[in-house]
Amino acid sequence: MKGVVLAGGTGSRLFPLTKITNKHLLPIYDKPMIYYPIQTLVDAGIREILVVTGGRNSGDFLRLLANGREFGLKHLDYTYQEGEGGIADALALAEHFADGQKICVVLGDNIIQGNVREAVEEFKQQPTGAKILLKEVPDAERFGVAEIRDGRIASIEEKPKHPKSNYAVIGIYMYDETVFEKVRVLVPSGRGELEITDVNNAYIREGSMSYGHLDGWWTDAGTFESLLRAANLVAETRTKNSEAVLVKP
């Protein structure tokens, strides 16, 4: 199973911080943002990883990450997204890299406390389809929201004014090789982008979408408020872990 980190886009919600750098190179506490999604994949046992970049600062990713030695990797792949066509548009660039294998996709500004290794292992055993992870949140209207009926996901609605549940779809998606066929037939949304929610709904319609729940905290880091929240959560977690090590008998 291969991993894909989507780190393109312009980061307009974080302007002027993103005027001279890519959003995913901004710091989250003591590490660049891009380190966290890569570490998520590595912690899940994934060693073949593609980073999708974009914008004027894409070369900085190569200078920062090189071949991924800091993550215990021998090699990192890179590709470039021209323009701002949306998450699904960026994902389409990974087709050659995936080479018919299942993939785990992580949005570059999503940071989690826990580990998704168990979910990844479960998806490896799933014959076909896709798998997403949900998290109960107080502000579901900011995210894609899952409607659950009889233990199955009936639909996902993107940023609904009146969410049908409090379960947000976090930015970690697992897909089989048919994901690229689904992306090719997408129609741009009102924002002029190819939406990842439309990809997920295509799997739901064919009855091949499974889901799990994420343990621990999760946040994106695409706004000033969530960027600060992410840094605080990481700092608090590091402090607690350090204290736990100090008091360990």
C-alpha 91, offset from chain centre? 11
In this prediction, residue 232 carries a pLDDT of 98
- Residue ranges of E strands in 71-166: 77-81, 103-107, 110-112, 130-136, 144-149, 152-158
- Residues linked to residue 79 through DSSP beta bridges, in sequence order: 52
What residues have CB less than 8 Å from 173, skipping those under 6 apart? 104, 105, 130, 131, 132, 196, 199, 200
For each of the domains in the chain, give its residue range(s) and CATH number, in order of start: 2-134+169-247 (3.90.550.10)
Compute the Cα dihedral for 237, 235, 16, 35 and give only its sign: negative
In this prediction, residue 198 carries a pLDDT of 95
Mean pLDDT by 10 residues, the chain (249 residues): 93 92 96 98 98 92 96 97 87 97 97 96 97 95 94 94 95 98 93 91 97 95 95 95 66
Using CA atoms, how far residue 151 sits from 76, 158, 212, 239, in Å, is 38, 20, 11, 37
In this prediction, residue 240 carries a pLDDT of 87
In this prediction, residue 55 carries a pLDDT of 87
In this prediction, residue 186 carries a pLDDT of 95
Compute the Cα dihedral for 174, 180, 186, 188 and give only its sign: positive
What residues have CB less than 8 Å from 7, skipping those under 6 apart? 22, 24, 34, 37, 51, 52, 53, 54, 61, 108
φ, ψ at 92 (rounded to 5°):
-55, -25
- Alpha carbon distance 138, 129 (integer Å): 29
In this prediction, residue 85 carries a pLDDT of 79
Predicted TM-score (pTM) of the model is 0.94
